[in-house]
Amino acid sequence: METIRRTRGLVTGAVLAVVGGLLLFASAVPRLPGNVMSLVETFLPWLGLAVPVGLIVAVVRRSAVAAVASLLVAAVWVGVFRAPLPLSASASPETYDMTVVQHNVSDENTSPSRVGRILLAPDPDVIALQELTASSLPAFRIVLGPTHPHHATVGTVGLWSKYPLTDVARVDIKPREVGDGWDRGLRAVVRGPHGEVATYVAHLPSVRVRPAEGYATGWRDESAGRLGRALAADGSPTVLVLGDLNGTADDRGLAPVMRQVRGSRGEFAFSWPAGVPLARIDHVLARGAEVTATWTLPDTGSDHLPVAARVRF
């Protein structure tokens, strides 16, 4: 009987040990068939749900092993994320120099004027948009123009700014297999009160879960590689990257980008899907500056929530 008591919860403890290992060392796990690790990394914070499950098992089975393992995983989770509960975070009171808004507005959105009002609420200095269409672009120009008179668009992405924009250029992030006319990257220099900021707006290809391929990220990963090389070649002292990157900061597919720029990990600010946000795939990232806070704005009717951030130079 004593042996049975000691072995209660061993299976739960082993599962929790795997969860703790993934939280700490997911990036060290080699690429597996179906690109499963990229999918795990996308939803990495949600592995913390193993903790309450483990504690329930510990109580039901009266297992010290499961209880200790649960508490250890909880400590690992807090150490990795140091973040609040997965709710929209409010802006930090820290000192900052610029407020930025990033949003995939959805090419099916029927109310650009309402979207614009929501995006303007935090009084941003710069606004980056993706999935602009020929029909929605004039409406965005009307609603954003009075406060952000400087703007540039390339294909379906756009940038609006309170400050002058110079050196506007297309950034080639198109995967090789995608046909002509696919333009989802731009670079412009924002000439603000704190100096010039090379600002990229990007929309990487979507990812899908398919029976034959698993987690299909090939186009997204190729596009991320192209964006990463463009950032590496950019000698500007201050760089911002604003975009729907269709992956989280932990997703290994975005490593070429994340090696060049950093975001804020102080908040989850999950942006997708808008109805039940599970992951932050919309990003404000910087080099030569610090993103001090990130939070989400109200639902605009898109399948993404807008993401706002504060930047300190």
The pLDDT assigned to 6 comes to: 55
Tokens of 9: 């919860």
Give the pLDDT of residue 227: 98
pLDDT at site 94: 65
Q: What is the pLDDT of residue 88?
A: 44
Point out the domain boundary residue: 26, 47, 81: 81
44, 26 Cβ separation under 8 angstroms: yes
Q: What local confidence, expressed as pLDDT, does residue 87 receive?
A: 46
Same domain, 74 and 194: no
Task: Kindly state whether residues 73 and 138 are assigned to the same domain.
Answer: no
Domain boundary among 19, 46, 81: 81
Pairing assessment for the beta strands 239-244 and 282-287 based on DSSP bridges: antiparallel
Q: Is 62 within a domain?
A: yes
Cβ-based burial of 65 (10 A; exposed 0-12, middle 13-18, buried ≥19): buried
Do residues 76 and 106 both lie within one domain?
no
Give φ, ψ of 307 to 5 degrees.
-115, 130
- The answer to whether position 216 is within a domain reads yes
| Residue at 118 is within a domain | yes
- Alpha carbon distance 66, 87 (integer Å): 28
CA distance 162 to 152: 12
CB 133 within 8 A of CB 107: yes
Instruction: Note whether 142 and 263 are same-domain residues.
Output: yes
Q: What is the pLDDT of residue 211?
A: 78
Residue 195 in domain: yes
Same domain, 75 and 186: no
3-state secondary structure of 157: strand
CB-count exposure of residue 55 (10 Å: 0-12, 13-18, 19+) = middle
Q: What is the DSSP letter of 15?
A: H
Tell me: do 56 and 185 sit in the same domain.
Answer: no
CA-wise closest residue to 74 among 11, 6, 19? 19
Q: What does the pLDDT profile of the chain (313 residues) look like in tens digits?
A: 445 455 667 899 999 999 999 999 999 999 888 889 999 999 999 999 999 999 999 999 899 999 999 999 999 999 998 755 444 444 445 689 999 999 999 999 889 999 999 999 999 999 999 999 999 999 999 999 999 999 999 999 999 999 999 999 999 999 999 988 899 999 999 999 999 999 999 999 999 888 777 888 999 999 999 999 999 999 999 999 999 999 999 999 999 999 999 998 878 999 999 999 999 999 999 999 999 999 999 999 999 999 999 999 9
Give the pLDDT confidence score for residue 74 in this predicted structure: 95
Query: Residue 310 has what pLDDT?
Result: 97
Contact 120, 108 (CB under 8 A): no
Rg of the chain, C-alpha, whole Å:
21
Query: Is residue 147 domain-resident?
Result: yes
pLDDT digits (tens, 9 = 90+) for 56-83: 999 998 999 999 999 999 999 999 987 5
Domain-embedded: residue 297: yes
Whether residue 281 sits in one domain with residue 217: yes
107 shares a domain with 39: no
44 lies in the same domain as 184: no
- Looking at residue 90, the DSSP 8-state letter turns out to be P
What is the distance of C-alpha 256 from the center of its chain? 14
Q: Residue 292 belongs to a domain with what CATH number? A: 3.60.10.10
Q: For residue 82, what pLDDT is reported?
A: 74
Domain count, the chain: 2
The secondary element (H helix, E strand) that includes residue 232 is helix 218-233
* CB contact at 8 A, 263 and 294: yes
State how far the Cα of 284 lies from the Cα of 286, in Å rounded to an integer.
7
In a domain, 93, yes or no: no
Do 105 and 175 lie in one domain? The reply is yes
For residues 76 and 104, membership in a common domain is answered with: no
pLDDT of residue 172: 97
Task: Indicate whether 130 belongs to any domain.
Answer: yes
Nearest-angstrom CA–CA distance, 161 and 165: 7
Of 81, 110, 143, which one is at a domain's C-terminal end?
81
Q: Which residues pair with 123 in a beta bridge?
A: none
The residue range of the domain holding 25 is 2-81
User: Token pair of 38, please?
Assistant: 């990229």
- Eight-class DSSP state of 88: P
